[in-house]
Structure 1
Amino acid sequence: MPITLSQYWMQLDDLGRVVAVFLILMSLVSWFTIFTKAWSFWRIRRSTNALHAFWNAPTIEDAVTLLDALDVENIYTPLAKQGLMAANPHNRAKTIMVKTDAADVMTRVLRDELNRVTVRLESGLTLLASVGATAPFVGLLGTVWGIYHALTAVSGSTAIQIDLVAGPVGEALVMTGLGLIVAIPAVLAYNAFNRINRITFAELDGFAFDLHAHLSKAN
């Protein structure tokens, strides 16, 4: 007769239950991060045509307005807005950058904005990497503990009985499988999101470079 989840839970000791709960929590947090990041990246990739529309606008003001409407995740728009503000000499007159060359001010502003966007895009990836790296070892801890129970049951019996070994060994195998189930989606998602990030970072760098060149000449 196959064992049920409730029976399996009752067989676990305190450490086994802690390991199982920890793996379940890691899985829940991992899947929440995967779904939220996937939704965000899908919206970002849909907004890539906004850059084409930006450069086809009649004026820079119209371009920023159009980009703001199409950039649903607000990834590219802050670069354009901050660059346009830095190019305005009236805005520089209110700061200590009043005597600094406009091109240098735009370089600093665009660099700071790129850093903020980078932090935002990479948020959650460290969590996925940590889950993918540690979940198998957490499951391995449960595996070792289950095998220890099996050996203890055997050593305390005068004759080897399959019933004494099957429960702890089954517990160990379930922990191994649970650790892999938690780790594999996190690793796959981390690799996929990293690839999307590399593409987005390249587009952001190119947009910042072109924007700097355009605003510097216009100024």
Structure 2
Amino acid sequence: MNLALVFESGDYVLIGVFLVMVLMSVVTWSVVILRIIKLYQAKQGNTAAKQAVMESASLEEAAKKVQGMTAPIGTLTADAIAAYRNYRNTEAKTLAEALPLNEYLVSQIRSSMSRSMRQFDGGMTSLASIGATAPFIGLFGTVWGIYHALINISQSGQMSIAAVAGPIGEALVATAAGLFVAIPAVLAYNFLNRSNKTIKQDLDAFAHDLHVRLLNQKD
């Protein structure tokens, strides 16, 4: 199947469809590669941050060890310790700090978790959109190509199988291109979504343990 023939004989609409397919494919694989690298770094960083916190003898030591860490667990630990210190050291209570320590820590920890997890949402909307729309864009290109192929055949007066099969076969490539782009996007979206949930579950478990430790911290 000669794809160059599509660009040589196709009109601007069919060529535009294929260029959109190429752009979608580039976006898909770029998002996949960047997200996988970020997830790997986050998992490695979470392991190191968790070990550093668990091996610390005090809040001060834990805060120093996680300082500068960009992993979600490191950021969560730093934010939780800062919130604990702020609650203990503030004399003039604000509306939020007037809450009991338990509720105040829960609120601050949840806020930190939301900020940390937001960084993993980048590109997910693009993958979902590409997976949902690429087949329809490819189908549109096929319909458009078949329509113009039949118009050209009727004008030329050639109704043989060879005259029909060639142009229509080239037009069907657009549908195949749509599926070729959509399938990796859908699979990548499901994989990355599952990986994000795994990180969130690990963060939830660590946050619960950190919350209990802070509540039982001796002043």
One-letter amino acid of the structure 1 residue matched with residue 216 of structure 2: K
Match of 1:11 in 2: 9
Q: What secondary structure, in the 3-state scheme, does the structure 2 residue paired with 1:47 have?
A: helix
CA–CA separation in structure 2 for the residues paired with 1:168 and 1:159? 12
User: For the structure 1 residues 4 and 29, does the alpha-carbon distance in structure 2 shift closer, same or farther, using more than 3 Å as the test?
Assistant: closer
Please list the CA deviations of residues 141-180 of structure 1 after superposition, one character each: whole Å capped at 9, or x if unmatched.
1111122123223333444134542442132222122112
Please list the CA deviations of residues 75-122 of structure 1 after superposition, one character each: whole Å capped at 9, or x if unmatched.
112211111111112257474434322222111111111111222222
CA–CA separation in structure 2 for the residues paired with 1:192 and 1:103? 35
1:25 and 2:60 are equivalent in the alignment:
no
CA–CA separation in structure 1 for the residues paired with 2:75 and 2:3? 54
State the aligned residue count.
Answer: 215
Tell me how far 1:138 sits from its aligned partner.
0.8
Match of 1:186 in 2: 185
1:211 and 2:213 are equivalent in the alignment:
no
User: For the structure 1 residues 35 and 181, does the alpha-carbon distance in structure 2 shift closer, same or farther, using more than 3 Å as the test?
Assistant: same
| Gapped regions of structure 1 (runs ≥ 5) | none
One-letter amino acid of the structure 2 residue matched with residue 78 of structure 1: T
Contact 2:46/2:73, CA 8 A, preserved across alignment: no
Root-mean-square deviation (Å): 2.2
User: For the structure 1 residues 202 and 107, does the alpha-carbon distance in structure 2 shift closer, same or farther, using more than 3 Å as the test?
Assistant: same
CA–CA separation in structure 2 for the residues paired with 1:109 and 1:23? 44
User: For the structure 1 residues 86 and 206, does the alpha-carbon distance in structure 2 shift closer, same or farther, using more than 3 Å as the test?
Assistant: same
CA–CA separation in structure 1 for the residues paired with 2:110 and 2:157? 73
Q: What secondary structure, in the 3-state scheme, does the structure 2 residue paired with 1:99 have?
A: coil
Tell me how far 1:48 sits from its aligned partner.
3.5
1:136 and 2:135 are equivalent in the alignment:
yes
CA–CA separation in structure 1 for the residues paired with 2:150 and 2:28? 34
One-letter amino acid of the structure 2 residue matched with residue 84 of structure 1: I
Match of 2:72 in 1: 75
Match of 2:148 in 1: 149
Match of 1:47 in 2: 45
Match of 2:83 in 1: 86
CA–CA separation in structure 2 for the residues paired with 1:91 and 1:156? 85
| Gapped regions of structure 2 (runs ≥ 5) | none
CA–CA separation in structure 1 for the residues paired with 2:115 and 2:175? 39
CA–CA separation in structure 2 for the residues paired with 1:182 and 1:155? 33
Q: What secondary structure, in the 3-state scheme, does the structure 1 residue paired with 2:57 have?
A: coil
One-letter amino acid of the structure 2 residue matched with residue 24 of structure 1: V
CA–CA separation in structure 1 for the residues paired with 2:155 and 2:137? 27
User: For the structure 1 residues 202 and 178, does the alpha-carbon distance in structure 2 shift closer, same or farther, using more than 3 Å as the test?
Assistant: same
CA–CA separation in structure 2 for the residues paired with 1:185 and 1:3? 23
One-letter amino acid of the structure 2 residue matched with residue 74 of structure 1: A
One-letter amino acid of the structure 1 residue matched with residue 89 of structure 2: H
**Structure-2-length-normalised TM-score:** 0.87
Identity of aligned residues (%): 36
